[in-house]
Structure 1
Amino acid sequence: MLKHLSISNYAIISDLSLDLEKGFSIITGETGAGKSIILGALSILMGARTEASVLKNKEKKCIIEAQFDIEAYGLESLFESYDLDWDATTYIRREITPKGKSRAFINDSPASVKILKEISSALIDIHAQNEALKMHEKSFQYEILDASLPNRDLLNNYTSLYHRWGSLTRQLQEKEQAYLKACADFDYYQFQVNQLAEANLQEDEQDSLEQRRDAMEHAESIHAALYQTSQGLNVDEVGVTPRLKEIYQTLQRVADHSKEVKELSDRLESAWYELRDISNEAEALASNYIYNPVELEEINQRLDTIYTLQQKHRVNTIAELLQIESEYADQIGSVSHMEQEIESLKDELHQITDQLTETANLLSEARSNVLGDIESYIQHILLDLGMPNASFKIQLDTTEKFNRWGNNEIEYLLAANKNQILEPIHKVASGGEVSRVMLALKSLLVQKKSLPTMIFDEIDTGISGDIARKMGLLLKEMGTNMQVINITHLPQVAALGDNHFFVYKSDSESETNSHIRKLTLEERLHEVAKMLSGETITDAALKNAKELMNDQIM
């Protein structure tokens, strides 16, 4: 249950602190005093959207914090699932900076808005003034219905299977679309692979061919240069090599008599051997450089093939062409692989669909079995709330399509008066009737779900007199099993509270502030009397207030 709420720097609230108790608590106050502002702050604590405009002082941050006693509600696993510390006394805090950014904390651990909503929704249910619209939402209608199921595992199993079924369905659709595209491109990929494979490209051949082509185009000049080199080095008597040999032999004859001469002689010998080798290599190499127009044509044709492929695929090297060939080959291979994946997905989807169908049918049957009890309970409550001729029915149809709630279509139907045809509630119910139906549904939810706290914001709008008293008694009864907090303008309801809090404003020269305080028994009496008669409290109003508060004033 909600033990303590503190709000600072929010709307017209500078600092507000509120200690709450179990049972049925009433909050009253004049219009505009700040009742709904307190509820708005609590909604922000539960994950509602924030913005800097809510700050009273635009230069300070807003802090909203609540303390909860959750020892008896078995929420340990929920906290564990979000890696949060569970504590019997749990604190939730949300801060809004002057720039409009917000931060949330659960037991001083940072928490995302998603986690904040999940945790807080297990602690508080707020029925705001527009909450009646939820009655037409399928999610709420299924929540009420499924809260009465004897086996919640059935719904959990369906939800798990439905998520898996949806995921497989999306995967299969994406894979089939990719397969169709791959098939459409298959001929293109095959042509490219065949063309590249036919070229039989070798990674290093381009440089080799370009060098050979350059040499062949200048073969005559190269051959002549090599021939002249060989001849100049080796021709008898006039060549460099014979003359060097004669000089070497001259030095050799006296080399034994001088170390320095011996070194020169050895160097000349080495030079002679090197020049002789150069001469021989030049002579042998010259034979490789004989102009051959046929070979040159073959080289140019091969390079033209390489250049054409490079230009086509917008690359500069054979290595890149080979990479492209490999990628196209992979695309071709993926078509066959995708066919196998699609068949595997179809098999798995077929199995999940069978399981989903079976579970959905069991869920639908379980729902059908509790419909009568729910309808009887709601009609009984509506009878107590002054709708003796009301008929309430939950229309549950089975479809062939799955949705996130099963294979059902649901509609809440109401006939408020005699001889009326049952129709969807939003088409036939007045504001007061909607409030009573919603309260009946919420009271059922309280019985079936272990919610610590439920807050109602003027659920009694459009109600008066004896019906208001009966609605208050129902709220009070709900407060025996949980903490119920009700914002009301009706004295008949306010008189029944176990606790009564009063919201009021104070004005200074510079600002207006909203406050809240718990009323004493005497103050409660005067507040109920004022709600009956207005600002001027009459003796009749006081007498009437005492009669309404008979249980408290003894």
Structure 2
Amino acid sequence: MLTSLTIKNYALIDHLQVNFTNGLTIITGETGAGKSILLGGLSLILGKRADLSNVKNATEKCIVEATFDLANYNLKPLFKTEDLDYEPLTIIRREILPSGKSRAFINDTPVNLDSLQLLGERLLDIHSQHQTLQLTNDDFQFQVIDALASNGDILEKYASNLSTYNSLQTELKTLQSKKSEAIKEHDYNSFLLKELEDAKLVVGEMNALEEEYETLNNIEDIKEKLSNSNALMSNEEVGLMNNLTELKQQFSRLTSYGTAYQSVFERINSSLIELDDIFSEIEALRESLEADPKRLEVVNSKLQIYHNLMLKHSVSDESQLISIREELAAKINDAENLDAVIQQKESELKTINEQLNTLAITIHKNREAVIPTLIEQLEAILGTLGMPNSRFNIKLHQGQKYYLNGSDELEFLFSANKGGNFNELKKSASGGELSRIMLAIKSILSKYIQLPTIMFDEIDTGVSGEISNKMAFIMQQMSNSMQVFSITHLPQIAAKGDTHYKVFKQDVDGVTVTQMKKLNSEDRIVEIAQMLGGFKLTESAIAHAKQLLN
């Protein structure tokens, strides 16, 4: 319920702070006093877009702040979903800055307008004659029937299954599309894979083959250079080995003259050992070389395969070719297993479809069972509200398509006159009739579900005194289980309130501002007497006002 409202620097309101209680709260005031301004401020709390033209002083910030008691609402899951801190007393604040920018906060946490609207619609319902089109909306009509049918839990289960059903359908379509593409590509991918598999690719093999190719292709030149190298080392007159051996012998005679000579001698000896090893390796390399035209052809052929494949697949080494080979193998494997996966998804879809159908049938039967009760209650209430000939014909048909709230299609037909034809609400009911129908529906709903705080904005326009008494009685009944506001011009309704506020204008320092005050018992007598007979109070008006209040 709405426990307090603060408005600063909005339209004709300089600063307004009001506290509210449960029950039926009446708001009255002359036309133009500012009741619509009050509703405008509340609409900002509900997430309506801000308009800088509504700011009273454009150089200062406009603030609208409302406190709600959430004790009777199951809103913790919503707060968790929206990542908000839950507080039993929740504060919603809107600010319009002089720059024109708007900010919104829930318990001091900044939020966007979507989050504000989502919470706002659970907390406050502003209803006027201009907002009765909600009645003609299928979703709202289903909500009414489902409230009476207690379909809340089963609709949640249905919605969860429908989400799974839609996801499976999407997955199945994707798999079928993938299969169609796979069929087109299968033969080509198989050819590419066979080509790569036949090549027997090995990481690092290409470098080894290139080295072997260079050796076999230049074998005579390599042999010649190895022989020359061998000669340089082993020539009897000028060979490296003979000269180094002679050098070693010379230094062997100097070692006894000091450690410096011994060190050089050891280095010469090491060099001679290393040179002898090199000589042996050169000799081994030379002896191992043998021209092999057939092997050269094999190596060249394998290298050509590598180069052709790399060119074909636009890669630079064999490891990338191996990766492509593995990807192709996976694609072909997936394609060959798609039938099994598709069959599994089809089986899952069939199961969830059966569950959905069972839930939809249950929802349909529950709805069918309560429709006679809804019609009976609606016609009875409307009879007391001056519409004794009102008749409803609510047709429910279960189709094959799954909607968000079941598989039903609904016709909510109405006839206002005896013997008249049934037609859609928007075509057969006037604005005043729609207002009374909405009041009747909300009064019925209040017995079955926890409704948000409701504010009736002059829905009694054009209603006679006797009917207004009935409307007031219905609002009183509703206020036993919820918070109800009624903005009214009718004294019969104003007198039924538990609390009464008056909206009025006054000039302050040469500026007209809107004020709002809570009326005490004496103030209420005067206000209702003026509503009955005008500003000039008469004894009969005062007596009538007291009678209404009693």
TM-score range, shorter chain: 0.7 to 0.9
Q: In the TM superposition, what are the counterparts of 1:143-158 in structure 2 within 5 Å? A: 143-150=143-150, 152-158=152-158
Kept in 2: contact 1:9–1:56 (CA 8 A): yes
What is the CA distance between 1:443 and its match in structure 2?
1.0
Mean Cα displacement is larger for which, 299-308 or 429-438?
299-308
User: Which digits, 9 at most, give the CA deviation of each residue in 1:288-342, with x for residues without a partner?
Assistant: 6666665555444433332332233222221112112212222222224443333
- Percent identity reads 36
Scaled by the length of structure 1, the TM-score of the pair is: 0.87
User: Which digits, 9 at most, give the CA deviation of each residue in 1:334-374, with x for residues without a partner?
Assistant: 22444333333222222222222122212211111111111
What is the CA distance between 1:139 and its match in structure 2?
1.7
Partner residue in 2 for 1:537: 535
Q: Tell whether 2:436 aligns with 1:436.
A: yes
Kept in 1: contact 2:475–2:484 (CA 8 A): yes
Q: In the TM superposition, what are the counterparts of 1:433-472 in structure 2 within 5 Å? A: 433-451=433-451, 453-472=453-472
Partner residue in 2 for 1:102: 103
What is the CA distance between 1:123 and its match in structure 2?
3.4
User: Which digits, 9 at most, give the CA deviation of each residue in 1:124-160, with x for residues without a partner?
Assistant: 3322443211112122111111111256433333333
> Aligned equivalents of 1:539 and 1:62: distance in 2?
39
Partner residue in 2 for 1:189: 189
Output the amino acid matched with 1:498. D
Output the amino acid matched with 1:420. G
Kept in 2: contact 1:496–1:548 (CA 8 A): no
Q: In the TM superposition, what are the counterparts of 1:74-473 in structure 2 within 5 Å? A: 75=74, 78=77, 89-97=89-97, 98=99, 100-106=101-107, 108=108, 116-150=116-150, 152-216=152-216, 218-252=218-252, 255-256=255-256, 259-287=259-287, 295-451=295-451, 453-473=453-473
Q: In the TM superposition, what are the counterparts of 1:17-56 in structure 2 within 5 Å? A: 17-50=17-50, 55-56=55-56
> Aligned equivalents of 2:111 and 2:190: distance in 1?
54
What is the CA distance between 1:204 and its match in structure 2?
1.0
Q: Tell whether 2:543 aligns with 1:551.
A: no
> Aligned equivalents of 1:281 and 1:357: distance in 2?
86
User: Which digits, 9 at most, give the CA deviation of each residue in 1:24-66, with x for residues without a partner?
Assistant: 2222334444323322332332344456665444554443322
Kept in 1: contact 2:495–2:548 (CA 8 A): no
Kept in 1: contact 2:234–2:240 (CA 8 A): yes
Output the amino acid matched with 2:105. A
DSSP-derived class of the 2:370 partner: helix
Output the amino acid matched with 1:421. N
Q: RMSD over aligned Cα, in angstroms? A: 3.3
What is the CA distance between 1:207 and its match in structure 2?
2.4
> Aligned equivalents of 2:31 and 2:221: distance in 1?
109
Structure 2: any 5+ residue segments left out of the alignment? none
> Aligned equivalents of 2:88 and 2:276: distance in 1?
101
Kept in 2: contact 1:241–1:276 (CA 8 A): yes
DSSP-derived class of the 2:497 partner: coil
User: Which digits, 9 at most, give the CA deviation of each residue in 1:506-531, with x for residues without a partner?
Assistant: 56689654322223445445544555
Mean Cα displacement is larger for which, 75-84 or 514-523?
75-84
User: Which digits, 9 at most, give the CA deviation of each residue in 1:433-460, with x for residues without a partner?
Assistant: 1111111111111121223621112222
Instruction: Return closer, same or farther for 1:162/1:261 CA change in 2, 3 Å cut-off.
Output: closer
Instruction: Return closer, same or farther for 1:428/1:305 CA change in 2, 3 Å cut-off.
Output: same
What is the CA distance between 1:214 and its match in structure 2?
4.2
Mean Cα displacement is larger for which, 253-262 or 226-235?
253-262
Output the amino acid matched with 2:548. D
DSSP-derived class of the 1:147 partner: helix
> Aligned equivalents of 1:67 and 1:509: distance in 2?
31
Q: Tell whether 2:453 aligns with 1:488.
A: no
Instruction: State the number of aligned residues.
Output: 548
Kept in 2: contact 1:392–1:414 (CA 8 A): yes
User: Which digits, 9 at most, give the CA deviation of each residue in 1:203-244, with x for residues without a partner?
Assistant: 112323334444455544433222111111112334221233
Output the amino acid matched with 2:101. G
Partner residue in 2 for 1:68: 68
Instruction: Return closer, same or farther for 1:129/1:39 CA change in 2, 3 Å cut-off.
Output: farther
Partner residue in 2 for 1:2: 2
Mean Cα displacement is larger for which, 8-17 or 419-428?
8-17
> Aligned equivalents of 2:412 and 2:450: distance in 1?
24
> Aligned equivalents of 1:53 and 1:224: distance in 2?
99
Output the amino acid matched with 1:209. L
Kept in 2: contact 1:495–1:528 (CA 8 A): yes
Instruction: Return closer, same or farther for 1:539/1:31 CA change in 2, 3 Å cut-off.
Output: closer
DSSP-derived class of the 1:185 partner: helix
Mean Cα displacement is larger for which, 288-297 or 440-449?
288-297
What is the CA distance between 1:481 and its match in structure 2?
3.3
> Aligned equivalents of 1:340 and 1:50: distance in 2?
56
DSSP-derived class of the 1:345 partner: helix
Instruction: Return closer, same or farther for 1:546/1:86 CA change in 2, 3 Å cut-off.
Output: farther
What is the CA distance between 1:416 and its match in structure 2?
0.5
> Aligned equivalents of 1:511 and 1:207: distance in 2?
93
What is the CA distance between 1:251 and its match in structure 2?
3.9
> Aligned equivalents of 1:470 and 1:190: distance in 2?
82
User: Which digits, 9 at most, give the CA deviation of each residue in 1:82-127, with x for residues without a partner?
Assistant: 5766665443434455562423224x56666565555444433322
> Aligned equivalents of 1:136 and 1:322: distance in 2?
65
Kept in 2: contact 1:223–1:290 (CA 8 A): no
Kept in 1: contact 2:396–2:411 (CA 8 A): yes
Mean Cα displacement is larger for which, 341-350 or 193-202?
341-350
Kept in 2: contact 1:234–1:276 (CA 8 A): no
Output the amino acid matched with 1:184. K
Kept in 2: contact 1:391–1:416 (CA 8 A): yes
Output the amino acid matched with 1:347. S
Kept in 2: contact 1:50–1:102 (CA 8 A): no
Instruction: Return closer, same or farther for 1:196/1:12 CA change in 2, 3 Å cut-off.
Output: farther
> Aligned equivalents of 1:223 and 1:51: distance in 2?
94
Output the amino acid matched with 2:386. G
> Aligned equivalents of 2:38 and 2:504: distance in 1?
12
Structure 1: any 5+ residue segments left out of the alignment? none
Instruction: Return closer, same or farther for 1:224/1:86 CA change in 2, 3 Å cut-off.
Output: closer
DSSP-derived class of the 1:130 partner: helix
Instruction: Return closer, same or farther for 1:211/1:397 CA change in 2, 3 Å cut-off.
Output: same
> Aligned equivalents of 1:374 and 1:10: distance in 2?
42
User: Which digits, 9 at most, give the CA deviation of each residue in 1:479-499, with x for residues without a partner?
Assistant: 333221012344443344333
> Aligned equivalents of 1:25 and 1:38: distance in 2?
14
Kept in 2: contact 1:182–1:335 (CA 8 A): yes
Instruction: Return closer, same or farther for 1:313/1:37 CA change in 2, 3 Å cut-off.
Output: farther
Instruction: Return closer, same or farther for 1:190/1:385 CA change in 2, 3 Å cut-off.
Output: same
> Aligned equivalents of 2:308 and 2:57: distance in 1?
73
Output the amino acid matched with 1:75. N
DSSP-derived class of the 1:448 partner: coil
DSSP-derived class of the 2:480 partner: coil
Mean Cα displacement is larger for which, 367-376 or 291-300?
291-300
> Aligned equivalents of 2:459 and 2:420: distance in 1?
25
